[in-house]
Amino acid sequence: MGHDSTESAIERELRGRIAAGPAGARLPSTRSLVARFSVSPLTVQRVVQRLVRDGLIETRPGTGSFISARRQLGRSDFSWQTTALGAARTSMQAVGTAMALEANSPIVMHSAYPSEELLPMRLVRAALARAARGGASVDRPLIGGLPDLRAWFASEIDANAPARASGVSADDVIVVPGSQSALASIFRALAQPGDAIVMESPTYWGAIAAAHQAGLVIVPVARGGAAPDAVALDDAIATSGARLFYAQPHFANPTGALWSAAERAAILAVVRSRDVFLIEDDWAHDFGIDADPRPLVADDTDGHVVYVRSLSKSVSPSLRVGAVIARGPALARIQVDRTVTDLYVSGALQAAALDVVTDPGWRRHLARLRVSLGARRDALAGAIVAQLGPETLTHLPKGGLNLWLRFDDRVDVRDLVARSLAAGVTMAPGSEWFPAEPPGSFVRLNFSGPHPERFAEGIGIVAGLLA
């Protein structure tokens, strides 16, 4: 009997006894199972450990193994929930590979977050220690967020061009627990289930999932070289009656594309003429490499732009702190949704985030980060051009964390991603970033993960699989 079949036989034996016996009954000893199945003690222990993890067995050192009182036999009747719940708005397939896949492969290029060496860990640890000792660790913060942190987010809108004041103030800022939560609140607050929302295609998978969860109907508009065509956007808004347009003007996830000055002006003109909200997701604000674009909200005076920014990627994934900037009745509606959903964001996390971004070391960290990201981007892009061909790389982004690849349309991307994973290379299939059917075979590669020295090796493996 083979090794795997022997383990299966032992597991069937134990599961049968668990199903038939009462809770607390003693199970056969390891010694007796070793003798019966002619295997090593290690083989029996592996089976027992699996059943312990499943909650079926309790082990008592020096005594033996017993049927758990918490055993789960997998025979509960959950069928009633099918009718009670009705149709699902989203499924687990809506959670992108970048979040769902664990980063435990040798060569990681699917990652959603920068690796630790790209984060200001010394500043973060010191800030968390100070926050734990201060009043923020026990005091309830204001529902809108710490005033100083709100003021900092407002000041960042004009950080690179203070002479052109946007008029954004701390009163326009709501502190939120990350941009994903912010998008969900904005979609719920500014639209009703069944309403349309226009989105660039491709775009961030989390925004697609949040829109579906809010019951919105997504109307995709293709991105051109960088931004959607203003005429196509105007037609999509007019035809659908949408009041929301979700966009990533700067270093978009997944493509890395950046709107030009002319595209910015044309799109803002459409938004104003149609009286709709442009939800500006500035997720990559801190990841400029060859450009430092000015947020669109800085050029908006009448509340058309609702701005979202998060510190979770640039400061630490554990500091789920971000901000929404909005004005007029829209701000009030979003604040109501945030209060009903979470009441407030942890004061300790807000204090730590404020400590990090106001430390003199923060700007020095961002300068080093720009250099590191540029080197990583160029290394990965060079490997792609050399081993997959220059036509595979859609363009070289001026910032962000990702490269966007397009293969021959006959390539089955899901199959390629699965085979790459089996070979030790993680990638994210491009289909996850399209609100509708993808128009080609795309893959997103992230260059901010661990072990950049293995990028060329990873691309070589992918090239071999394609060949």
Note the pLDDT tens digit of each residue in 236-293.
Answer: 999 999 999 999 999 999 999 999 999 999 999 999 999 999 999 999 999 999 999 9
Query: What mean pLDDT comes out for the span 102-112?
Result: 75
What pLDDT, on the 0 to 100 scale, is given for residue 467? 85
Amino acid, single-letter form, for residue 59: T
**Domain 3-67 belongs in CATH node 1.10.10.10:** yes
Confidence of residue 75 (pLDDT cuts 50, 70, 90): low
User: pLDDT tens-digit profile of 366-375?
Assistant: 999 999 999 9
Q: What is the pLDDT of residue 269?
A: 96
Q: What is the pLDDT of residue 372?
A: 97
Q: Give residue 279's pLDDT.
A: 98
| CATH domain 128-359 topology | Aspartate Aminotransferase; domain 2 (3.40.640)
pLDDT at 113: 86
Find out whether 459 and 417 touch, Cβ atoms under 8 Å.
Answer: no
pLDDT digits (tens, 9 = 90+) for 300-358: 989 999 999 999 999 999 899 999 999 999 999 999 999 998 888 888 898 999 999 99
When pLDDT is cut at 50, 70 and 90, the band that residue 73 belongs to is low
- Averaged confidence pLDDT in the chain: 89
Q: How far is CA 417 from CA 110, 328, 445, in A?
A: 10, 45, 11
**Interacting residues of 236 by C-beta distance below 8 A, sequence separation 6+:** 198, 219, 221, 242
Beta strands in 114-202 (DSSP E): 173-176, 196-201
CA distance 337 to 182: 10
Beta strand pairing call for 277-281 and 305-310: parallel
- Residue 254: asked if its preceding bond is cis (omega within 30°), the reply is yes
Please give the structure tokens belonging to residue 282: 């500035």
Amino acid at 30: T
Q: How many residues make up the chain in this entry?
A: 467
**Average pLDDT rounded to a whole number, residues 119-124:** 94
| Secondary structure of residue 387 in the 3-state scheme | helix
What's the rounded Cα separation, in Å, for the pair 167 and 164? Answer: 9
Q: What is the pLDDT of residues 195-210, one digit of tens each?
A: 999 999 999 999 999 9
> What is the mean pLDDT of the segment spanning 395-410?
94
* DSSP H helices in 101-241: 121-133, 147-156, 179-190, 205-213, 230-240
The whole-number pLDDT of residue 163 equals: 41
Count of H-run helices and E-run strands, the chain: 16, 14
The continuous run of DSSP H or E covering 130 comes out as helix 121-133
Locate the DSSP E strands across 297-372. Answer: 305-310, 322-325
Asked whether 183 and 212 are in contact (CB, 8 A), the reply is no
Please give the C-alpha separations between residue 353 and each of 47, 273, 292, in angstroms, as whole numbers: 45, 38, 22
Q: Tokens 């009633």 belong to which residue?
A: 80
**Residue 388 reports pLDDT greater than 70:** yes
Domains 94-117+363-466 and 128-359 share a fold: no
pLDDT one-digit tens code per residue, 156-174: 997 655 444 568 899 999 9
pLDDT at 81 over 80: no
Residue percentage of the chain with pLDDT more than 70: 92
Taking only the tens place, the pLDDT of each residue in 266-277 is: 999 999 999 999
> How many Cβ atoms are within 10 Å of 379's Cβ, its own excluded?
15
> Which residues are CB-neighbours of 142 under 8 A, at least 6 positions away?
344
pLDDT computed for residue 45 by the predictor:
86
Share of the chain above pLDDT 90, in %: 61
Domain ranges of the chain: 3-67, 94-117+363-466, 128-359
On the question of pLDDT at 23 being above 90, the answer is no
pLDDT score at 117:
93
Q: What pLDDT, on a 0 to 100 scale, did the predictor assign at position 263?
A: 95
Which CATH number does the domain 94-117+363-466 belong to among 3.90.1150.10, 3.30.420.40, 3.40.50.920, 1.10.10.10? 3.90.1150.10
